[in-house]
Amino acid sequence: MSKKDVIIPLVPAALSALLLAGGVTVFSACDPKPDGSWMQCHQCQNSVAASSAGLVVFFGTAAFVKNKGVRLALQALSLIGAIVVFFIPGVICPLCMMKTMRCHTVFQPFVRIMSVLVAGGGVAALVHTFKKDRASQA
């Protein structure tokens, strides 16, 4: 297994880690209310964070699995997961009612952009693994 065979599949795992880190820090959803309770978008942020952590684990694991079938399956499932993350803010989980709030203006765009990048990296990893399988059989 060459460095290229490990690095390309690790790209979506690294992007997923950036999604996780950014989604709970710099690009997080709305702050707590003055009484200490959370807005409904906070649950959405937690869902994105948990999903991103799962993507890090699955994409990261896929990078080191030597069994081609298992590697392709992990990458395909992770790719589907990245697509689902795109729809979490605003579709699967409701955001705040006002479109001017942080969850709409910062959090949702960040999650959508990063999930597209993760999915793109996942497609590249899947294609790389698939082509590598074909090349090794020829």
| 25 is a domain residue | no
Report if residue 59 sits inside a domain. Answer: yes
Position 2 in a domain: no
Structural domains of the chain, count: 1
The pLDDT of residue 101? 95
Question: Is 23 part of any domain?
Answer: no
Residue 13 lies in a domain: no
**Does 28 map to a domain?**
no
Quick check: is 18 in a domain?
A: no
- Whether 19 is in a domain gets the answer no
User: Which residues contact residue 86 at a Cβ distance below 8 angstroms, ignoring those fewer than 6 apart?
Assistant: 111, 112, 115, 116, 119
Given a contact cutoff of 8 angstroms between Cβ atoms, the answer to whether 42 and 30 are in contact is yes
Predicted confidence (pLDDT) per residue in 31-89, tens digit:
999 999 999 999 999 999 999 999 999 999 999 999 999 999 999 999 999 999 999 99
DSSP for 32-74, written as a single string: PPTTS---THHHHHHHHHHHHHHHHHHHHHHHH---HHHHHHH
Look at residue 5 in the predicted model and tell me its pLDDT.
Answer: 76
109: amino acid identity, one letter: P
Report the distance separating Cα 133 and Cα 47, nearest Å. Answer: 34
Residue numbers of the domain that contains 113: 40-133
121, containing H or E segment = helix 108-137
